[in-house]
């Protein structure tokens, strides 16, 4: 496929087909159940078909829908195992695969962005894409000085398509509201929209990556590839080869899993203090374990700007939850707009809601498992539970959105890895407010 489908009506129809398709399959499933077919078999069949459609539609659309698909892929760790299998496979594909654009389209973008003599800047260029990104695809090449490089080329029409997708997704704010009943959804979506639109200019991504690469240049645990060249719709960086986190999730041994998890946790918490930026696109496709034992990080299109490091508020919240101080915790949450102003909520209920989330800090190391994450999702999502009612009174201020989403996404990856991580040590060293 050459370009992204751009016409608003066409893209809207594609997006709309997702929930309708799912509903249709569920209805068919109930029909089969009435005729005596096994419920588990029907459920598995429905999941497989839904996952297939999800991959097909989001993969074709790319743009904003693809980005939402990639964000969702991290949270499959919270879905019960019997339902997650087909989604896991389809969503993992979404992280690294999408129908490629034609070589002629790639060459046209390179002509526009690097000049018609762009071929002289490379000694080799592979027209077959090595990977798909959310709004572009990556080609392997050799720079004129002999360096192996990755060339990320933005899909023609990605800017228009992304803006269209975001407008459509904003129209589904009621659906998002049902997923996060207590949150102010519209400002959250506006913040998400602003951050995604930033990713359209690869020069911004290149500047972000240069900042990370400079700080981590001689780091013993992290490698960030250097930026070789950049333009609004093309960025060229050094090529890195290692074991992708998706592969470690699938079949890594215990040592690999623990190393991958510890390095990711360190990177997530240390980068804001060291760089003033938070890598804000946590999915397994952006991380790999190098042969020398370091973590390689790619794709810096999405970042949160944190010139003063992670907010001390988070550290104080975690500490108060660990120390079982409900009154002080509620006072802090109200002061920082984490509780809706018109809601009455009991301090003990808020502590009961938040305390399990800080379990990883109580014991060192903590074993992050899919089951633990599923339990948290079930606990706060059960309409009959006190935690669900408490959750409806809580709010996520928009300026904390990216940090919250990235922390949740990184936690999802740790659970997919099934990693044992000393999170207490990481927070002690890097989370402001945690130690007082």
CA distance 166 to 11: 11
Q: How far is CA 188 from CA 20, 180, 290, in A?
A: 25, 11, 36
Tokens encoding 17: 């087909």
**Helix or strand run (H / E) with residue 392:** none
Number of H helices, E strands in the chain: 19, 14
Nearest CA among 360, 352, 343 for reference residue 388 = 352
* Residue 398 near residue 187, CB atoms below 8 Å: yes
* Residue 312 near residue 432, CB atoms below 8 Å: yes
Q: Hey, CA dihedral for 75, 306, 319, 331, is it positive or negative?
A: negative
Angle at 4 between CA 110 and CA 20, to 5 degrees: 160
Beta bridge partners of 131: 138
Strand pairing category for 295-297 and 420-421: unpaired
Catalytic residue chosen out of the listed positions 207, 251, 253, 281: 281
* Residue 239 near residue 140, CB atoms below 8 Å: yes
Nearest CA among 261, 246, 249 for reference residue 420 = 261
According to DSSP, residue 384 is labeled T
Buried b / exposed e across 348-383, counting CB within 10 Å, b at 16+? ebbbebbebbbbbbeeebbbbbbebbbebeebbeee
CA distance 347 to 363: 24
**Helix or strand run (H / E) with residue 170:** helix 158-171
Helix (H, G, I), strand (E, B) or coil at 301: coil
Nearest CA among 60, 46, 83, 50 for reference residue 4 = 60
- 281 given a catalytic annotation: yes
- For the purposes of burial, counting CB atoms within 10 Å of the CB of 30, is it exposed (0-12), middle (13-18) or buried (19 or more)? exposed
The residues carrying an active-site annotation are 281
């Amino acid at each position: 496929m050459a370009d992204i489908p751009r016409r608003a009506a066409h893209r809207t129809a594609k997006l709309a087909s997702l929930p309708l398709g799912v509903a249709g399959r569920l209805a068919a499933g109930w029909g089969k159940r009435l005729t005596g077919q096994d419920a588990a078999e029907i459920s598995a069949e429905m999941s497989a078909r839904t996952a297939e459609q999800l991959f097909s539609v989001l993969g074709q659309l790319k743009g904003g829908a693809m980005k939402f698909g990639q964000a969702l892929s991290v949270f499959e760790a919270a879905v019960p195992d019997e339902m997650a299998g087909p989604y896991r496979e389809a969503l993992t594909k979404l992280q690294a695969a999408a129908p490629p654009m034609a070589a002629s389209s790639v060459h046209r973008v390179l002509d526009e962005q690097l000049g018609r003599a762009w071929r002289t800047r490379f000694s080799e260029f592979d027209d077959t894409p090595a990977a798909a990104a959310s709004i572009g695809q990556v080609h392997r090449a050799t720079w004129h000085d002999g360096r192996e490089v990755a060339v990320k080329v933005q899909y023609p029409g990605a800017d228009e398509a992304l803006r269209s997708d975001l407008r459509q997704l904003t129209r589904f704010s009621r659906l998002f509201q049902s997923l996060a009943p207590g949150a102010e959804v519209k400002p959250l979506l506006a913040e998400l929209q602003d951050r995604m639109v930033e990713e359209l200019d690869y020069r911004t991504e290149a500047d972000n990556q240069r900042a990370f690469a400079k700080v981590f240049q001689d780091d013993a645990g992290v490698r960030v590839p250097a930026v070789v060249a950049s333009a609004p719709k093309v960025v060229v960086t050094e090529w890195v080869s290692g074991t992708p986190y998706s592969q470690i999730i699938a079949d890594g041994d215990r040592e690999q899993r623990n190393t991958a998890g510890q390095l990711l946790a360190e990177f997530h918490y240390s980068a804001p203090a060291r760089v003033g930026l938070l890598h804000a696109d946590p999915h397994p496709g952006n991380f790999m374990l190098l042969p020398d034992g370091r973590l390689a990080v790619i794709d810096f299109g999405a970042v949160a700007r944190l010139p003063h490091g992670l907010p001390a508020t988070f550290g104080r919240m975690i500490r108060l939850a660990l120390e079982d101080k409900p009154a002080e915790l509620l006072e802090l949450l109200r002061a920082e707009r984490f509780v809706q102003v018109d809601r009455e909520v009991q301090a003990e209920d808020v502590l009961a809601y938040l305390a399990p989330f800080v379990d990883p800090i109580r014991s060192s190391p903590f074993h992050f498992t899919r089951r633990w994450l599923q339990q948290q999702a079930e606990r706060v999502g059960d309409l009959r539970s006190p935690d669900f009612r408490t959750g409806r009174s809580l709010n996520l201020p928009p300026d904390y959105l990216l940090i919250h989403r990235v922390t949740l996404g990184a936690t999802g990856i740790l659970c997919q890895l099934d990693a044992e991580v000393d999170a207490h040590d990481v927070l002690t060293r890097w989370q402001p407010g945690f130690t007082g």
